[in-house]
């Protein structure tokens, strides 16, 4: 097994350093190694006590936010904001590959901003980013610290008094169609697609993989996905540990 593992890592390293248009697609499993819980696993957020009468999935919906912003923010601040989290080796290796002109796009389903903190610039946060916030009435933008440090239970705009909301995609809301279309374009042009830390059970992540027509489709995940038959290479493991082993 150890010999097979080393061979997989060597092959992966060769693929990565020879890629000219690598697209990465990552899910919650990329951030768990930074101490951020995922959503749907046995220990994930949706299987934890929300601390409220409502489930976490209910609280994180557009209609609930509009009706009960106080409950939303109690849950959001307590469960989803992880400013103390630091990029792990998955984020760092991808940033290094981008700096060396191997990466054309990083697509993340996470809202934690860790790819940007690691130094990546070519990032599409398709579910938004907790570091971006705005007033729903006048659109004034606010940094995360304003949300964290406000004394009010519901952050309010200091210009118009409107409710401030995080620039993240809630349930019942659509994703940015222009962002997705450009992601699809770059996936279709990629020579390598690296998928990690995601079960690929939920769209649009699952659908995005189907646009890849390049040479190397690599899955790095702890568990099997419903699209493993599409992959040209599968490595079982934590993505941070796997990418760290490449030495990149």
Catalytic residues: 127
Question: Are the beta carbons of 192 and 94 closer than 8 angstroms?
Answer: no
CA distances (Å), 46 to each of 43, 107, 245, in order?
8, 23, 32
Compute the residue count for the chain.
248
Distance CA 88, CA 33 (A): 7
Question: Are the beta carbons of 238 and 222 closer than 8 angstroms?
Answer: yes
Whose CA is closest to 39, among 31, 53, 30, 28? 28
11 alpha carbon, distance to own chain's centre: 25
- The single-letter DSSP state of residue 78 is I
3-state secondary structure of 237: coil
């Amino acid at each position: 097994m150890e010999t097979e593992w080393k061979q997989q890592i060597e092959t992966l390293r060769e693929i990565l350093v020879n890629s000219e248009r690598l697209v990465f697609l990552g899910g919650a499993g990329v951030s768990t190694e930074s101490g951020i819980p995922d959503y749907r696993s046995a220990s994930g957020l949706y299987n934890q006590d929300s601390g409220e009468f409502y489930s976490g999935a209910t609280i994180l919906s557009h209609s609930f936010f509009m009706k009960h912003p106080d409950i939303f923010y109690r849950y959001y601040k307590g469960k989803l904001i992880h400013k103390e989290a630091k990029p792990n080796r998955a984020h760092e290796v991808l940033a290094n590959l981008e700096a060396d002109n191997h990466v054309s796009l990083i697509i993340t389903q996470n809202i934690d901003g860790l790819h940007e903190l690691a130094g990546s610039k070519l990032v599409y946060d398709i579910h938004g980013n907790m570091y971006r916030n705005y007033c729903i009435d006048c659109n004034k933008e606010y940094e995360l610290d304003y949300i964290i440090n406000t004394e009010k239970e519901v952050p309010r705009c200091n210009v118009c008094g409107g409710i401030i909301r995080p620039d993240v995609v809630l349930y019942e809301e659509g994703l940015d169609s222009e962002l997705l279309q450009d992601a699809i374009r770059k996936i279709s042009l990629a020579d390598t697609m690296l998928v990690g830390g995601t079960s690929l059970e939920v769209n649009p992540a699952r659908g995005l993989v189907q646009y890849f027509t390049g040479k190397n489709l690599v899955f790095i995940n702890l568990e099997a996905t419903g699209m493993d038959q599409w992959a040209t290479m599968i490595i079982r493991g934590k993505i941070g540990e796997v990418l760290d082993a490449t030495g990149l």
